[in-house]
Chain A
Amino acid sequence: MASLRDIKSRITSTQKTKQITKAMHMVSAAKLSKAEDAAKAFMPYSDKIKEVVTSIANSDQDNEHPMMTTREVKKTAYFVITSDRGLAGAFNSGILREVYRTIQERHTSPDEYTVIAVGRMGRDFFTKRGISVLKEVTGLSDQPTFNDIKELTSETVQLFVDGEIDELILCYNHFISAISQEVTTKKVLPLTELSEETTSNNSEYEYEPNQMEILDVLLPQYAESLIFGALLDSKASEHASRMTAMKSATDNADELIDDLSLQYNRARQAAITQEITEIVSGAAALE
Chain B
Amino acid sequence: MKTLKVSVVTPDGPVLEDEFEMVSCKAETGELGVLPGHIPLVAPLSISAVRLKGESPKRLAISGGFLEVRPDKVTILAQSAELPEHIDVERARRAKERAERRLQAKQDEIDFRRAELALQRAINRLNVTENK
A residues in contact (CB < 8 Å) with B:
38, 41-42, 44-46, 48-49, 52, 56, 145-147, 150, 203-209, 213-214, 217-218, 221, 224-225, 228
Contact = CB atoms under 8 A, between A and B. Distances in A.
A206 B66 contact: no
A218 B66 contact: yes
Contacts of A48: 9, 68, 75, 77
B79 interface: yes
A103 B66 CA distance: 37
A56 B14 contact: no
Q: How large is the interface on B (under 10, 10 to 19, 20 to 34, 35 or more residues)?
A: 20 to 34
A221 B41 CA distance: 18
Given A42-B12, A44-B9, A45-B9, A208 B80 contact: no
Do most interface residues of chain B lie in helix, strand or loop, or is the interface mixed? Answer: strand
B54 interface: no
Interface string B42-82: 11100000000000000000001010101000010101100
Given A44-B14, A217-B44, A206 B39 contact: yes
B42 A207 contact: yes
B77 A205 contact: no
A49 B79 CA distance: 11
Contacts of A213: 28, 44
B12 A41 contact: yes
Contacts of B11: 42, 45-46, 145-146, 225, 228
Contacts of B68: 48, 52, 205
A213 B43 CA distance: 9
B39 A41 contact: no
B77 A214 contact: no
Nearest to A204: B40
Contact of B29 (A49, A206, A208): A208
Contacts of A217: 28, 44, 66
